[in-house]
Each structure stands twice: as structure tokens, then as C-alpha cells.
Structure 1
Amino acid sequence: HRLIFLAMGDLMERNQPLDAITVGDHLQRQDKLDDAGGRAYLARLVGNTPGAANIRRYASIVREHAMLRQLIEVGGDIAASAFESEGRQVEELVDLAEQRVFEIAERGQRSGSGFIAVKDMVQPSIDRLDALSKSEGGITGVETGFEDLDKLTAGLQAGDLIVIAGRPSMGKTTLALNIAENAAIGHNLATGVFSMEMPREQVAMRMIGSIGRVNQSHLRSGRLTEDDWTRINSAGSMMSHAPIFIDDAPGLTPIEVRARSRRLKREHGLGMIVVDYLQLMQVGGSIENRATEISEISRSLKSLARELNVPVVALSQLNRSVEQRNDKRPVMSDLRESGAIEQDADVIIFIYREEVYDSETPRKGVAEIIIGKQRNGPTGTFLLTFKGEFTRFESHIPEDYSEGVYG
């Protein structure tokens, strides 16, 4: 069949007709007619040619068998690499195997019709632009639920690595989970959360408090009012239908994060990934320099965002040196342990709350959100209100626009 197909291709390239006679003559000139089954076999194939009514199903059968052959080939390569690992670690071999199988699955899902005349693309493009112009704030990525942040970023873009950085207790996890809640509950986007600092039960409890606006101290102590229970049930109802998936395994490697993310995308689809937090990840092997290790982690997260075509939100700690300055607002050089984070990230968001350092400040509950870097957009600063009792950020309405960053 391969010989016959190649002969048909040769004839098509020469603009010659295709039938049992022309294909047979072409094979005979190449001295391959007998290997292809002879003229009688060609005639039998023509006699058994199916109609065009089920052509899509026939094409599907061909594609399925092609995928099976690819699986057989990849399976052999995987077995060979396992027998002769050449010093590579098991995790690396597993990642390579999963990547190759994932590529087969992705190719099997692709559907393309080849060239499309530009005249047929004009109207869909105009319709797309019209829809974007009518969308709220011109959001082209995943909406965060915070209007000022969405205005600056146009949403979290697919393929981008977004780093949320701050000193301890600033609210990094709270902001990331609030964004995840909005994506999953507000827009039904499957969201994977790698929580390496908190167990999944604690993450779920935070979400209940945030979504239902239930005081976290009530949730921890169990001293709940009737109103609390009403809010808890409402939050639980929303969460039970939200495609949020939490993985609380500690100290994951980039290879493990990538493998688990691929699996989540295959099984449930994927709209966004959250990693809490970057410095708690590990790299297998004998890397002794922590800065080099962090560099490899940040590069792998950027690569993951590109591969799965989703925004990856990674939390990061800041250096202690920020505590030694009078102005403790974070800057790029405060990113902990590696300048590679600054290079790899498409967007870097700093969180600063003055009340963490000054309990007497009149700006309690006010958080400065600083966009320190945006590869394809502007930087800037805006305010959010921090509701610590609910582990929640909300849009901020300043009492006096002449104060703070507005002045």
C-alpha cells in the first residue's frame, strides 16, 4: 500500500490521471508492480473503493492507526532509553517519555484545513476585533477579578510567566488564590494550584473564607454563627462546581510539576496554573548553587507556560535586604536568590502593605500592587484593600485621592 500511495503521489505531482492502469504502468516502470501486488490487486482495490459519504470517518481511521504506529515507535524508544539510561536520572527519563506521548496526543487532536484565502479571514478578524472592542476593558487574557490589574495587563496572557513577589505576610498566597477563584468560579477555567507551603485542607478553608467572606478565626476555632453557616454553605456550593484542582505535595521538582500539569490538561483541560511558591521547589541532581537551582526552576516554569499555552502564576519570596531600607517598597533587585526570575518572568507583581512594618499607620488594610515589569505592557502602581480576616483582596476606593500613590 505504501508503494501504491507513493506512485499515486508521483502521478499527482505530474498532473497525470489516477486509475488502476496509470498506477500499474508507473509501478511497472519502477519495477515495483509485483511488490505492490500486481495489476489484479490494483483492480481489486479500485473495485472496493468506498464512497465519499463516510470520508471523514475513513480519514479518522487512518489518523488513529498512524497514532498507534507512533505509539509503538515511541514505546520502543522509551524502553531502549530505560535499558541504557546513559547516566540520566529516572525523573528525566519519565519526563521525556511523558513529553513524547503528550506530543502524540496533541498531534492527534490538531485539525487544520491547510491554506485559507485571506478574503475568507477578513470578516472573522473584523468580528473578533468588534468583540474585543466591546469587551470590558479590552481583556484578552484570563481575568483576575481586579479591574485595575486587568486594565494594566489586559488579563493574564496565555504562555506568560507571572511572578507575584513580596516579603512574608504581605498576602502573596491570598492574591494568587483570589485570582484562581475568579478564573475558576467566575469563568469556569480549570485551574491547577500547586500548594507546597500549605496542605490542601487549609487552602480549601482559605477559599471558603474568601468566597463566603467568613472570618478565618471563626473557621479555625469552629465558633460559627448562623450567618457564618449561611455563607459557608453558599461558598461550598460555588466551590463544588468550580474546576479548581489542588496538589499539596511538598518540594516538587520542575519535572514533576510539568508532568502533573500535562496530566491535568489531558483530563480536565487547563486555563491557569498557580505555584506557591517558587523557592519551595527542588531540582533533582547535585546542583549545589541555590541561585543556579532557582534559575533552572524559573526557566522551567516559563517553558511550561509556553508548552501548555496557559498563564503560570508563581509566587516568590524577596531578599531580607529590603528590611534594611527606609523605603521598604520592593524593587527588582529584591527578588530572592536569582536574577533569572527577573529575566524569565513576563510580568512581575510586588505586594507592599505598610501596616506589616508599622502597626500604627493610618493606611491599615491598604495594599500597594506594584507592576515592576511587564514585557508587553506598561508598569504602574495601584491600590487594593486587604481584608485579612477573610483572606481576601478587594478593589480599593480611596477616601482621599490626594494621599498615597494618587497624590
Structure 2
Amino acid sequence: MSDFIERSDRPSAPRATRSDSRVPPHNLDAEASLLGAMLLNDEPVGLAIEQQLVAEDFYKPAHGHVFAAIRSLSSAAEAIDAVTVADELRRNNLLDELGGLNFLLELQNATPSISSAGRYIRIVRDTSILRRLIRGASDIADIGYSAPADIKIAIDKAEQIVFDIGDEQISDSLQKLHDLTGSVAQILEDRFDAKAEITGVRTGYAKLDKLLSGLQPGTLNIVGARPAVGKSAFALGMAVSGARATNRPVLFFSLEMSATELTQRILSAEAQVDSDRMRTGRLQDADWTKITNAINRLEIPLYIDDTAQITVMQIRQKLRRVNVSDSPPAMVVID
């Protein structure tokens, strides 16, 4: 029964603040109705666990304790009803404090509809998120009032607070085949009307584009080969081509080479100037003309990040920033 004792690491929102007397968002009726549905049927229990609902999502502490008891019984594969939950609460010295068995029976009897449990969960989760946003805003204000020496670190902390709240959300990825076929039919119709051989993002490599019809949205493409055979150059060429063809942001994350080295490679390929001459500086007059023209042609939305130990979370944050400041990225390359 350890699940009942352990609480989520997610910080709970305060009930009120000294500077603001407003009551945080909550819906006690939805909380009570959800708990009552769980006491009557196992399906709402499984649905709440699948949606990653935790005790801290409940505004009323008593409701949080009841949910924790239900979740503990579910983890132990034990029956869940008013009597078994009451026993679990009694073992943790909470039953009398909550009002005894009658409190659970009131929850059970006050449930309007078990079939609406999914809606109750969304209400409880949404109001919990709003309370965490309020707390996050307070934390961000504290960062600002502290007058930090490093503004960049302060902004990063503030962004992390908001993103941590957003990252807790999960989406229902289950879809009926009938709904999917309707979406696919629309895609096929659009492709038919476009009359284009390349339906995805062009890579710049004709044979590959013909084989894949371009890089399709939502796909993961892995380039594999032995060391030092040109994988990075190949990926870099795709990034440049994708940004140029779509005029949408393409993000290139390099965990090995610096942004300067990558830019030099791009310039060398675009200007058709020998990379050794660029590396040594032994450029000819004609090379300078080619490089200048190449620079003008490379006014494309290609973003390069050379953070060596970048994390998935950081990549997601950078994608969000580009999505807001520019437009949705057409391609992301990680080398």
C-alpha cells in the first residue's frame, strides 16, 4: 500500500496568497462526482490513472485523500468500494478526520452519472492546471523581484516553470480507424489536386526524393553509415534544401561540430569553393565572388544549434520558441 503514502512530486498550488484574496479555480462538485463514480465502478478508476490524475489535482484535501486511497487499492489489485476505501483510510488514520464511512457513502450517492467520469476528470485536471499556473506565475514574479544577476538564467528558469506545467499534459492518441480513413482521404484528395511528384519536404537529392516523395510530415528518418563517410554533410544538405524549398524554419542540432564549422561547410557547398582553401584561407579573387553570391542566396530560415549536451527537453523548448517567433518548423535534424 506504499502508493497511498507516497505523494506526487508535482507541487500543489496554494489555496490563497497574501497579496490576492481571490479563490483559486476549482470545482468541488466535479471532484465529488468523480470519486463517487470510482466507488461505484472500476472503469473511472482506470481512466483516471490513464490520464495520470494525482491526489494533488483535487482542490479539497479530503477528496485528495480519498483518491489516494482508491489509487492505492487499485495498485494492489484489490476491490474498490465505499467499505474497502474506508478501511484503507482507517489504516492511515484518516477516516474519522474525513467524516467516516458516511462521507464516502455521500460521495457515492451524489454521483449524477458514471458515464460522465471522463468529463469529471477533465474538469478536475483543468482546474488543477490553472492553479499550478497561478503558482507558477507567483514563482516567476519572485524570480523577477529577486533582481538576478544573470538575466538569461532567470528567463530560462521562468520558461522551465511554464513548460513543466505544459509537459504534464498528455493527449489521447487512440483514434478509430473510421476517423483516420476520413483524414487520409482528404490528404489523398489534396495530393491529387496538387499534381506534384514530391509531396513532402524536398531533401535536395533527386533519387531520394523520388524514392520517398520527399520527407513526409511526422516521420522519423534515420541516416546510418560507417564513420567519416559524409553523414553530417548529407544531413546538412537536406537541411539547407528543406529550408529553401519550404521557406519554413529548419532546425539543425549538432552535437559534434560547431555552428561556425557547419556554416563554413554550407558556404563551401553553396559557393562551390574548395573546403581546403576556405579552411586555410588561401582563397582566390574568383572565390570571393562566389562566396558573396552564396551568402546572398543563403537567406533561408535555417537555424543551427551547436549545444554539445543538449537534452530532449531543451530541443522541445527551442522548437516552441521558433514556432512562436517564426512559424511551425518543416524539419528538425539532430546530428
TM-score normalised by the chain length of structure 2: 0.47
Say which structure is richer in helix: 2
Say which structure is richer in strand: 1
